[in-house]
Amino acid sequence: MDWHQLWEIVSTPDNVPIVALLFLVPFFAWLAWQQARANDQLIAQLEADPKLAKTAHRKAFPWKPGWPKEIQTWPYLMRVEFLAAIIVTVILIVWSITLNAPLEEPANPNLTMNPAKAPWYFLGLQEMLVYFDPWMAGVVFPTLIIVGLMAIPYIDTNPLGAGYYTINQRKHAIGAFCFGFFVLWITMIFIGTFIRGPSWMWFWPGQTWDPTRQIYETNRDLPDIFGITSMNGKMIFGAFAMALYFAVAGAFIHWLMTRTEFNRKIQKRMSLIQYLTVQFFLTTMLLLPIKFIIRRPPFRIKYIWITPWFNI
């Protein structure tokens, strides 16, 4: 166990935000979860008692008849905002006094940094380079992330859960988003920061980052396993493999979307184009962890689909 190495990574000033994320994300997830649970209990209670539902205040926050539903922005909101500004300022000043922003040697094109890392918030995409070609990891995925995020309001046909925390009423939406945010984004950043060392090799936490370390691993492509050697054969085989993947993943998503009475109701509200968009984004998202797994030992499969123009 190389504690020194571990400390060096964790205490690098530019890695402080990632260490902060390690606490902030779980904290806020917990905060949200707590409120969602309170609301879900209330919802269950009201669903069971329609009479109460007609008269209830319908919020987990306390309320008494006679209390105004609205309050003055000044002072009640603005004092909170000023307080937040002061707290953020104090944190920022203390942070800036105690930790210096890094400055390396002057830029030198002849001296390659090893590892050469993108800024931490893009490490998820850089980590994707291990599993996908650069045009996928660096261009297609970012585009899909942006378009996919923008599509969310237009493909989520579930009218429930607008303006309050809940899990039970939006299980699938929240599940998909949290999978993307926690697993595909935050975890990849952690891996890119803490695990990836020189030459982007995998070093477990506490393992010394040895730049001379060599890993001999023979990567194979999926067609190789089936003994397919000709280019045309690989192309056709890969196309079939991808089609098979999307069929199976699509069927799985469809099963999820129509599993319960409530799910079916939401699915019925979708137009065909909404349904297909959901399918496209979710099946593509699922492709990432699958490639992640088959790329690592013992499978070590690099490409599924090989063509003269691109590989996936």
- Least separation in angstroms between residue 227's CB and another protein is 27
Q: What's CA 29's distance to the chain center, in Å?
A: 13
Q: Which C-beta is closer to another protein: that of 120 or that of 281?
A: 120
Answer for which of 65, 106, 297, 298 binds another protein (CB under 8 A) is 106
- Per CB under 8 A, which of residues 157..176 are in contact with another protein? 159-166, 169-170, 174
Answer for which of 3, 64, 65, 111 binds another protein (CB under 8 A) is 111
Pick the stretch among 155-163, 227-235, 274-282, 285-293 that binds another protein (CB under 8 A): 155-163
Answer for which of 3, 55, 107, 212 binds another protein (CB under 8 A) is 107
Q: Would you state the structure tokens that stand for residue 104, as one six-digit string? A: 């390396």
Side chain identity, residue 265: K
Burial status of residue 23 (CB atoms within 10 A of its CB: 0-12, 13-18, 19 or more) = exposed
CB atoms within 10 A of CB 7: 10
Answer for which of 1, 90, 146, 248 binds another protein (CB under 8 A) is 146
Q: Is 30 in the site for another protein (CB under 8 A)?
A: no
Pick the stretch among 1-9, 118-126, 203-211, 282-290 that binds another protein (CB under 8 A): 118-126
Side chain identity, residue 171: K
- Per CB under 8 A, which of residues 188..247 are in contact with another protein? none
Spell out a b/e string for 263-301, using b for 16 or more CB atoms within 10 Å of the CB, else e.
Answer: beebbeebeeebbebbbbbbbebbbbeebbeebeeeeeb
Q: Which of 182, 161, 185, 186 is nearest to 171 (CA)?
A: 161
Print the binding letters for residues 35-74 with another protein: x by CB under 8 A, - otherwise: xx--x--xx--xx--x--x---xxx-x-----xxxxxxxx
